Chain A
Amino acid sequence: MDLRSGPGRGFPATFSIERSASIELLRQRTDWIKVRTGNGREGWVHRAQLERTLTPSGAAVAIAGPQPEARTEHRWEVSLGTGDFGGANIVAVSGAYAVTPSLQARADVQHLLGNYSNGWLGTAGIAHVFAPDWRVSPFVGVGGGVLTVKPKATLVQAEDRTDTTAYAALGVRGFLTNRFLLQGEYRSYVVFTSRDDNEEIDEWTVAFTYFF
Chain B
Amino acid sequence: MLVVPPRFRLTLAAAVAAVALSGCGATAEQVALNGASVTANTTRLVVQTAETGALALYRAEQIAAVDLVKAQNGTREQAEAAVLAVRAKWKPVWDAIDAAAAAHTALVTAIVAYDQGKQVIADVTRAAVALATAEQEAVAVIEQAKGAR
B and A form one assembly:
no
